[in-house]
Amino acid sequence: MGERDYWRLLVPGVRLAVEYVTIQGQMVSFLVRLEKVKEGGEWRLSARYDTCHGRPHLDVVNEKGELVLKRWMEEMDIGEAFRRAVLDFEENHEKYN
């Protein structure tokens, strides 16, 4: 089993945090978080893609950390869902709180 996690800045004050697990070279779970700096310099979650609940989906939260949107990634294998999640946050981070 392989586990990997890392984060990187997309632009100042916005970072992408990634975690995933592979078994025999196949991705079996992932978590991709978009985090932004709030007042006081603390990082806060804006949105996340993950495989919790057994299938890939997007959760968007408000500034209070409350869930405001859940979108399932239907008919997509886990590897494709992971690639789309990273690409979405790279290209569209400004549209999330």
Q: Which regions in the chain score pLDDT beneath 70?
A: none
Neighbours of 18 (CB within 10 A): 18
Record the tokens describing residue 50, joined without a space.
């993950």
pTM (two decimals):
0.92
Q: What pLDDT was estimated at residue 76?
A: 87
Q: What is the pLDDT of residue 46?
A: 96
Predicted local distance difference test score (pLDDT) of residue 58:
97
- What span, in angstroms and rounded, lies between the C-alpha atoms of 85 and 26? 17
Asked if 27 and 50 touch (Cβ cutoff 8 Å), the reply is no
